[in-house]
Chains A and B, each alone.
Chain A
């Protein structure tokens, strides 16, 4: 695994829309009209229905889990939401290594995270620390 500073993680990419959001609503009990109905989304000032902020968080976690495998443990995570996930857009969760530290039990890797859509809109930014076992 390349742990050089600046190394980008393989992105986690999803086509997003009601199929994703309705499934997430079902496990989060988050049946909010603007996540399910275009007219409700328009009333919230958006072009139509839009996705849940917490699903962006899950996509960032998926990105980390796919990259680190079973030898890694997420120790810290942060997220700030920037823009809503509009319907029928492609969302990519991405990450870049910002620091690596030798610690007891392995290497502690700091990462910058973000999600963006295919229209170059930044949806969320964040950070994480992952402990990679020696």
Chain B
């Protein structure tokens, strides 16, 4: 364990100033019944998913999406195909600031609060913010914890879900 007063810090003034800033916003196309059916078939494979995910759908009986359904996975308005940034500096690259000098990135987990369900026909808007930077001392030196909060709402402004994702860098 390093002495906290002499331990290396990855958090620059520029990074500290970016806390709370919006990383990006995006809106989905209307969720289709076919999207919901395919998602459910994939995650329940090889068994059939519950009927509520595979029914006829339509305006009179719109399908409900599984809670973890992702309406942004494929096409979204304005989304252009590109290689995902999987570098250790992916977060700061999106914010347009200098990334910390870290080499390794680990997934620190995800915490979700669910609101109203996603339904066929819904348009989901997401706002992703830099929530915080914190540090801890570990056996391999300073660990940088970076959390992002992604809030999804539907076309009526109702909260669909809030996701806090954390990455650990060293």
Q: Is B67 an interface residue (CB 8 A)?
A: yes
Given the interface contacts A19-B46, A81-B107, does A27 sit within 8 Å of B73 by beta carbon? yes
Contact of A29 among B44, B50, B73, B113 (CB under 8 A): B73
Given contacts A24-B43, A74-B114, A78-B112, contact A61 B68 (CB under 8 A): yes
Interface status of A79 (Cβ within 8 A of chain B):
yes
Q: Is B110 a contact of A58 with CB atoms below 8 Å?
A: no
Of the stretches B17-25, B34-42, B129-137, the one at the interface is B34-42
Contact among B45, B66, B68, B70 for A23, CB-based, below 8 A: B45
Across the interface, do A78 and B110 meet the contact criterion of CB distance under 8 Å?
A: yes
A67 at the interface (CB under 8 A from B): no
Which B residues fall within an 8 A CB radius of A?
35, 38-39, 41-46, 50, 52, 66-68, 70, 73-74, 107-114
Closest CB in chain A relative to B109 CB, distance in Å = 4
Which of these, A20, A57, A73, contacts B45 with CB under 8 Å? Answer: A20
Q: How many residues of A contact B (CB 8 A)?
A: 29
Within 8 A of B (CB), among A71-111: 73-81
How long is the Cα–Cα vector from A19 to B45 in the complex, in angstroms?
Answer: 8
Task: Say if the beta carbon of A55 comes within 8 Å of chain B.
Answer: yes
Q: Report which of B42, B111, B112 forms a contact with A27, defined as CB distance below 8 A.
A: B42
Question: Judging by beta carbons under 8 Å apart, are A79 and B110 in contact?
Answer: yes
By secondary structure, the B interface counts as mixed
A57 to chain B, nearest CB (A): 6
Q: List 12 A-B contacts (CB under 8 A).
A: A27-B39, A27-B70, A29-B73, A53-B107, A58-B43, A58-B68, A61-B66, A65-B66, A77-B111, A77-B114, A78-B110, A78-B112
A1 and B109 CA atoms in complex are apart in Å by 30
Q: Give A contacts to B, CB under 8 Å.
A: 14, 19-20, 23-24, 26-30, 53-55, 57-59, 61-62, 65, 70, 73-81
Q: Of the candidates B43, B52, B111, which one forms a contact with A55 in the assembled complex, judged by CB atoms under 8 Å apart? A: B43
